[in-house]
Amino acid sequence: MKKKNEVVAEQLAQIRQDFRDLWTALRTDPKKQKRKERAWALVSGALAAIATLGARQAATKAWTRLTGEPPPPVQEAQKEAAKFERKPSA
pTM: 0.53
CA 68 to CA 83: how far, in whole Å?
A: 24
* Of 75 and 36, the one with more pLDDT: 36
Question: Is the pLDDT reported for residue 17 higher than 90?
Answer: yes
The predicted pLDDT at position 66 comes to 94
pLDDT tens figures, 42-77: 999 999 999 999 999 999 999 999 999 888 887 787
Task: State the burial class of residue 4 (Cβ atoms within 10 Å of its Cβ: 0-12, 13-18, 19+).
Answer: exposed
Q: Residue 5: which residues within 8 A CB-CB, separation 6 or more?
A: none
Across residues 22-51, what is the average pLDDT?
Answer: 94
